[in-house]
Chains A and B, each alone.
Chain A
Amino acid sequence: MNSNILEVKNLKTTFSSRKASFNAVDGISFHVAKGETLGIVGESGCGKSVTSLSIMGLVKPPGKVSGDQIDFNGVNLLNLPKREMRNLRGNKISMIFQEPMTSLNPVYSVGEQIGETLKIHKKLKGEERKRKVVDLLKQVGIPRADEIYDNYPHQLSGGMRQRVMIAMAMACDPQLIIADEPTTALDVTIQAQILELMKDLQSKKGMSMILITHDLGVVSEVCDRLIVMYAGKIVETGPVKEVLNNPSHPYTKGLLASLPKKGHKEKRLHFIPGQVPAPANWGKGCRFSDRCPYTMSQCETSLPPLMKAGEAQESACWLIPDEEGSTHNGFIEATR
């Protein structure tokens, strides 16, 4: 019995034009265990959203998904016929998007939109469908669910719309939910409500979740395990506590150190010099090497694979084997 609901091996998503092609996601492997929340963090352009679209089979041409496998409950999604993928999508795997206003249809009432999922996958009809939708709306904490059923997206606030999106994603009791920046467009107090709701529903229904975000605070509060991506590659992965308390990749360290912290008095923030390289400038070596404070000659010529860096932690950095090295520890001290 496999305890993983999703296993991704060597996933590559390629976008090509007549002149050039590049891998937005460049050979990444990871898994999601049953009932687990996996966080994927990274800055814009690191490939985290493309990863989620690749799993859902939603990458549009000229994008092309390849790789060894995307195994969902024993089914390889990579060579699944379109029709079967459509049966899975919204049913067994569903997605919550960042901007609820643009991902809801403005000309259908929210009740109809949630009901559509039930109509297609569960073949529910009439009154029964409506009852189920109202029930879902209640579950996601929407007051006056009977009235809201007939409302249109523009009549709802941002937080309410995101609740509708969640209700829609939950409609068929999926085994895996992929949430792409679900709270980025929301205010802090509303964000807290939505995160609480998602945690609550997840533990009640025992779903697995992939949470994609750029906010390390959100990851720290919600996720069990964490993947840090940089320029199409996974640079570090491990249990959230360990990665955030004891980051081993210089990029993760730099990110954590760049966050303004509560109660800290330093005038200047730590920062990572330079910017994320464009795919055209990805060299042969480590893609972080031009911004890394510890670049060695090895870093510029060969790409480090993920290596064991702790009990359950893995990191793609040539520094990892000599963990005892003085510069290494010195850096941890300096950025704490």
Chain B
Amino acid sequence: MSVTNLKLKDQSALRPAAPVIAFTRSVKRASGRPLLARLSAGAANVAPLIVTLSLILIAWQIVCSAPDSSLPSPTRVLEESWELIAHPFYVGQGVDQGLFWHIAASLQRVAIGYALAAVVGIALGALVGQSQLAMRGLDPIFQVLRTVPPLAWLPLSLAAFQDGTPSAIFVIFITAIWPIIINTAVGIRNIPQDYQNVAKVLRLNAFEYFGKIMLPAAAPYIFTGLRIGIGLSWLAIVAAEMLIGGVGIGFFIWDAWNSSLISDIIVALIYVGIVGFFLDRLIALVGRVVTRGTATA
């Protein structure tokens, strides 16, 4: 996790100062160039990806083409799971739903748990970052609790909530909250003395300081935490749903395994990966818009 953390921080430092302006600039540049040049530039970006994807698919096809292969080849996946791929919005009985609905159910759980984690995490992070006393009292506890694997919380939350869905939401919450707390606290501890002096000279009160100095100054760090948090949430929901059952992409995968539908599992994994990718990009995008000029002082 610490590696991811570092990487994200690097990226945030390299972020352009004012994306709004960068955005209009890039639009201008794009519209100013002839269509053909734009297409060829786009192709140059995408071509390597297409090549690697093709190589992987070909290798996979060759390795798994034996009739007694334990895993299906790409063509067999297409053949066996065509129903699943072609009808993502299929509505059936109970857990017999199209993949879109499974993903939607998982996303809903993640949304609730993650939103709670963001609110509580930023508040606790602000407290720990701001107060030396709170840090001494709480930080050791955070450091211990954050190492508990997400799924280890599940039995406890099942016992507490007596129901699958709130337990899964709690697992998301408890998984996502630690990086949010820790990054927020670091961000607030790193607010430059200059900004604090400005706040003092202006005599900002506690609320004004929180909204006008603390949050914007710590925003790049907070979004680093939020981005790690969303990734962990998506990791945890699949595992948690395997255990709690019901509609959801995690249980879908488990159900497919129990029914020996290996091709369905592969399709579901591709869905999980792509959704996770877009969640990460979404938070990064929100972060860029919200932090605007903050990243570069």
- Asked if A and B bind, the verdict is no
Residues of B within 8 A of A (CB): none
Residues of A within 8 A of B (CB): none
